[in-house]
Amino acid sequence: SAPAAVASAPAAPAAAGAGAPAPRRPETLYNAARASFRVDRHAEAAARFALLEKEYPDHRLADDARYLGARALLALGDQAQFVQMLTAMPDDYPSGDMVADGLFELALFEMERDGWAGAVRPLELGLARFPHERAYHAAGRFPYYLGRAHIETGSPDKGKALLEQVIRDYPLSFYMALAHARLADADPAAAQRALSAALERDASAPYAELRSPLFARPAFTRAVELARQGEAKLARRELDALGVGSRTAPREVMWASAFLLARAGALPQSYSILRTAMAAPSADDGRVELAGDWVDHYPAGRWRSAWELAYPRPFAALVAAEAKRSGIPEALAYAIMREESAFDPKVASPAQAYGLMQLIVPTAKRMAKPLGLPSSAEALRRPEVNIALGCRYLSVLRGQFSDNPLLAIPAYNAGGGAPKRWIAERPSQSFDLWVERIPYEETRLYTKRVLTSLAVYELLYAGDQPSEALRTPLPARSGRPCRRRP
- Looking at per-residue pLDDT, the higher value among 351 and 481 belongs to 351
Are 324 and 275 in a shared domain?
no
Tell whether 47 is covered by a domain.
Answer: yes
Are 53 and 150 in a shared domain?
yes
Are 255 and 401 in a shared domain?
no
- Looking at per-residue pLDDT, the higher value among 20 and 140 belongs to 140
For the chain, what is the domain count? Answer: 3
For residue 145, what pLDDT is reported? 99
Q: What is the mean pLDDT of residues 13-42?
A: 82
Are 383 and 264 in a shared domain?
no
For residue 463, what pLDDT is reported? 87
Boundary-marking domain end, from 296, 326, 361: 296
What is the per-residue pLDDT across 171-227, written as a single tens digit (0 to 9) for each? 999 999 999 999 999 999 999 999 999 999 999 988 777 889 999 999 999 999 999
Tell whether 219 is covered by a domain.
Answer: yes
- Looking at per-residue pLDDT, the higher value among 293 and 20 belongs to 293
Tell whether 208 is covered by a domain.
Answer: no
Are 429 and 334 in a shared domain?
yes
CATH number at residue 385: 1.10.530.10
Q: What is the mean pLDDT of residues 29-43?
A: 97
Query: pLDDT class for 278, splitting at 50, 70, 90?
Result: confident
Q: Which domain holds residue 225?
A: 213-296
Boundary-marking domain end, from 156, 186, 202: 156
Query: pLDDT class for 104, splitting at 50, 70, 90?
Result: very high
Q: What is the mean pLDDT of residues 82-97?
A: 97
Say yes or no to pLDDT of 122 above 50.
yes
* Average pLDDT, rounded, for the chain: 91
pTM, 2 dp: 0.89
Say yes or no to pLDDT of 124 above 60.
yes
Are 282 and 326 in a shared domain?
no
Are 355 and 423 in a shared domain?
yes
Are 224 and 140 in a shared domain?
no
Tell whether 91 is covered by a domain.
Answer: yes
Tell whether 167 is covered by a domain.
Answer: no
Q: What is the mean pLDDT of residues 274-282?
A: 66
Say yes or no to pLDDT of 481 above 60.
no
For residue 18, what pLDDT is reported? 55
What is the per-residue pLDDT across 427-438, written as a single tens digit (0 to 9) for each? 999 999 999 999
Tell whether 102 is covered by a domain.
Answer: yes
CATH number at residue 135: 1.25.40.10
For residue 476, what pLDDT is reported? 83
Q: Indicate the length of the chain as a whole number.
A: 486
Q: What is the mean pLDDT of residues 307-314?
A: 93
Are 226 and 274 in a shared domain?
yes
What is the per-residue pLDDT across 446-460, written as a single tens digit (0 to 9) for each? 999 999 999 999 999
Say yes or no to pLDDT of 478 above 70.
no
Tell whether 301 is covered by a domain.
Answer: no
Tell whether 331 is covered by a domain.
Answer: yes
Say yes or no to pLDDT of 17 above 70.
no
Boundary-marking domain end, from 156, 174, 199: 156
Are 248 and 379 in a shared domain?
no
Q: Closest Cα to residue 89, out of 119, 112, 122?
A: 122
Are 328 and 444 in a shared domain?
yes
Are 43 and 128 in a shared domain?
yes
For residue 6, what pLDDT is reported? 66
Is there a contact between 69 and 28 (Cβ–Cβ < 8 Å)?
Answer: no
